[in-house]
Amino acid sequence: MSVSTRSRAVALFVSLRPAQWTKNLILFAGLIFGGKLLDPASVLAAGLAFAVFCALSGVVYLVNDVRDADADRLHPSKSRRPIAAGDVSPQAAIRTAVILTVVALGVAWWLDPVFFVVSSGYVTLLTGYSISLKHHAIIDVLTIASGFVLRAVAGTVAIHVAISHWLLVLTLLGALFLALSKRRAELVALADGGAGHRRSLADYSPQLLDQLISIVAASTLLAYAFYTISPETVAKFGTDRLLFTMPFLLYGIFRYLFLIHQRDGGADPSETLLQDRPILACVALWVVTVAVLIYGPWR
């Protein structure tokens, strides 16, 4: 393989934004909270579902970057994306998107027909977001949050466990928190040029976004607290000790707000979550604590 061909392949892979695939980890929530973490067949199914959504996420990013190439060239950081920079042609990006869609949905159908339906709904909704919905204030963040809800649903469908309403509510609120925080960071970073890059930013203001973020953050904390002590949760897991994980959520939200307001972070939630060591440690401790409480010998 020539150096130029290898470079194009690398650029195409970068266009799939593998760093953003961490968003698909929400698919494993059903595995953990569905009590299937120790079931090898369920772990394999969840892993395949994760791979399908990583591929479909890449499809959405390719479509988005082809449509936004001209605007991205005017952005301080997005101008380095391979399609905007001219390292990947729009034609190659679209061909790759079509192939990935066919393969991913084929695997989804083989895994479970209902999972196929959810996967198809996800890629359709997020493609609609890239084409039009992202230009409408409020609708844009609700669409992003709905994409996370579909991920969570897909994770439960793939391993055939009941869909917890609490899981869906918490996923929706958590995704809204991150989406609104991202809009605020974009608005502040782009200042008066924000509307030229993303039309929906013209309808936002830092004050409005701060209010919405406060509402969603408080709602997330309350919903999680009620979930941990609800009779349904206690009966399902045989413990009311999940409330002890509340400090992790408090710290995670407070730390993220600190990064937004004091460190000008939040423009890329995936990057922020992966690069901030305190948040990484908080998430890791939360996962370990939840696993111990749910799967511990005292159940």
- Do residues 68 and 129 both lie within one domain? yes
- Do residues 145 and 172 both lie within one domain? no
Choose one of 142, 163, 184: the last residue of a domain: 163
- Do residues 186 and 88 both lie within one domain? no
- By residue range, what is the domain housing residue 75? 1-163
- Do residues 32 and 86 both lie within one domain? yes
- Do residues 11 and 132 both lie within one domain? yes
Q: Are 144 and 109 in contact (CB under 8 A)?
A: no
- Tokens (6 digits) for 69: 């190439």
Choose one of 141, 163, 185: the last residue of a domain: 163
- Do residues 181 and 98 both lie within one domain? no
- DSSP annotation string for 121-153: HHHHHHHHHHHTGGGSTTHHHHHHHHHHHHHHH
Terminal C-alpha separation, the chain: 56
- Do residues 103 and 173 both lie within one domain? no
pLDDT in tens, the chain (299 residues): 444 454 888 989 999 999 889 899 999 998 988 889 889 999 999 999 999 999 999 999 999 999 988 887 877 777 888 898 888 899 999 999 999 999 999 999 999 999 999 999 999 999 999 888 888 999 999 999 999 999 999 999 999 998 888 889 999 999 999 999 988 888 887 665 555 556 778 888 889 999 999 999 999 999 999 999 999 888 888 888 999 999 999 999 999 999 888 877 766 777 777 888 999 999 999 999 998 998 877 65
Predicted local distance difference test score (pLDDT) of residue 273:
78
- Do residues 158 and 171 both lie within one domain? no
Nearest CA to 286 out of 255, 260, 250, 257 is that of: 250
Q: Measured between alpha carbons, how far is 222 from 216 in angstroms, rounded to an integer?
A: 10
Helices (H), 230-265: 231-237, 246-262
SS3 98: helix
The total number of structural domains in the chain stands at: 2
- Do residues 153 and 255 both lie within one domain? no
- Do residues 4 and 38 both lie within one domain? yes
Q: Are 230 and 167 in contact (CB under 8 A)?
A: no
Choose one of 138, 163, 188: the last residue of a domain: 163
Residues 6+ apart with CB under 8 A from 45: 111, 158, 159
- Do residues 123 and 98 both lie within one domain? yes
- Do residues 19 and 123 both lie within one domain? yes
Give whole-number Cα distances, 91 to 55, 66, 95, in Å: 18, 9, 6
CATH of the domain at 9: 1.10.357.140
